[in-house]
Amino acid sequence: MKYCRVVAVVALVVLMFVQVTPSAAAEPLQQSVQLRAGGYFPATKSFDVGTGFDLAYSLKPFPYAALEAGVGYYRAENGVTGFISALPVTLSVRALLPLELVVLHAGGGIGTYYKMAGGTTELPADHSEWSLGYHANAGIEIPTFSGVSLLLDGKYVFVNQGKFKSYGIKHDGAFVYGGFALNF
């Protein structure tokens, strides 16, 4: 039920910024491939700051909205052998605010996460499962040259705990990513 509310709010935000005109419908769709990487700050405080990355395909059907499909990986460790990690596959909607030199964006989406944890005394050596999750993000895109843009993105991910709930482990967390986009 939470996922439906998040998707409804994201859709409402996008609709506030989207204005369909005949000239906008005739323009070709803008597309991009984005690579973002950076820090992962896990919600489970016993784990150190980790790293992660996202690879995404974005489609802009309107100047003020974008749809995005992405895959990624993130991992954080606890001491020498303990770890949590996930492989997310996500769909997102973003509202865009193009300014003179930058494009601001905010949005969110849903996804499925293949979660893994292990190496601590409380968990078996290889403990994994699939879970649903959702995320919210905001950021900035700086167009540079020849269809290349620099990206800065902040995101928070909420992932269903599933089996990990009894161990007190959450795969939720905040991300601060930098990267680039190839626009075509």
Any idea which architecture 2-183 has in CATH?
Answer: Beta Barrel (2.40)
pLDDT confidence of 132, banded at 50, 70, 90?
A: very high
Please give, one letter per residue, the 3-state secondary structure of the chain: CHHHHHHHHHHHHHHHHCCCCHHHHHCCCEEEEEEEEEEEEECCCCCCCEEEEEEEEEEEEECCEEEEEEEEEEEEEECCCEEEEEEEEEEEEEEEEECCCCEEEEEEEEEEEEEEEECCCCCCCCEEEEEEEEEEEEEEEEECCCCEEEEEEEEEEEECCHHHHHHCCCCCEEEEEEEEEEEC
Model confidence pLDDT, tens digit, residues 14-72: 555 544 444 444 567 899 999 999 999 999 888 999 999 999 999 999 889 999 999 99
- What are the residue boundaries of the structural domains of the chain, listed by start? 2-183
| pLDDT digit string, tens, across residues 69-86 | 999 999 999 887 789 999
In this prediction the pTM is 0.83
